Amino acid sequence: MTTIPTLTTERLTLRAPMAADFDALRAFHSSDRSHFVGGPFTEAESFDYLCKVIGHWTMRGYGRWVVTLTGAEDRPLGLVGPYYPSDWPEPEIAWTLWQGAEGKGIATEAARAARSFAYETLGWTTAVSMIAPKNVRSIALAERLGCTREGAFDHERFGRLDMWRHPARAEVPA
């Protein structure tokens, strides 16, 4: 079993995903807001998805964390972290925020922490984020993170995804 580290930022805790996060994930997955990640999903599909999130840590040694506010109730706000499914062209920094967490800088703060972890702990020198062309919120976040659009990737299930390249490790301010 892989030990999943906990990251903290000024406002956030990025912690291991767990079974208790299922209700929040299911609520997001059953809504129309999940369409950029392949939803809406059934309850069974959401369960399988959470299992994949947890299992990614074992298979790759890294994965997405559940984001919560530090010092507050342990309410899951979304998933953020290094991600590399077998049908992706290269590793990415992925993010998905759930109902009520958008527009507060949470994704930016969490994605920066995840990217720092990927560069400093995993030794990545670069990363991408795969974003649906109409996902304007994720595109804006990629731009805030200093990413540049580098091309597209055609995925069997998700269709065309734009590949946003993160600044190289050496270019990211400490």
**Tens-digit pLDDT profile for residues 67-82:** 999 987 889 999 999 9
CB atoms within 10 A of CB 56: 20
Torsion-angle region of residue 78: left (phi > 0), alpha (psi -120 to 50) or beta? Answer: left
Whether residue 40 contacts residue 32, with contact meaning beta carbons closer than 8 Å, is answered with: yes
**Tens digits of residue pLDDT in 140-163:** 999 999 999 999 999 998 889 999
What's the one-letter identity of residue 126? T
Question: What is this structure's pTM?
Answer: 0.94
| Residue 60 covered by a domain | yes
Mean pLDDT value across residues 108-136: 96
How many domains does the chain fold into?
Answer: 1
Query: Is the residue at 137 inside a domain?
Result: no
Q: Which residues, including other chains, have CB under 8 Å from residue 13's CB and lie 6 or more apart?
A: 6, 7, 67, 68, 69, 70
CA distance 155 to 145: 24
Task: Provide the CATH number for the domain around residue 27.
Answer: 3.40.630.30
The reply to whether 164 falls in a domain is: no
**Whole domain around residue 48: which residue ranges?**
7-123
Q: Is residue 169 domain-resident?
A: no
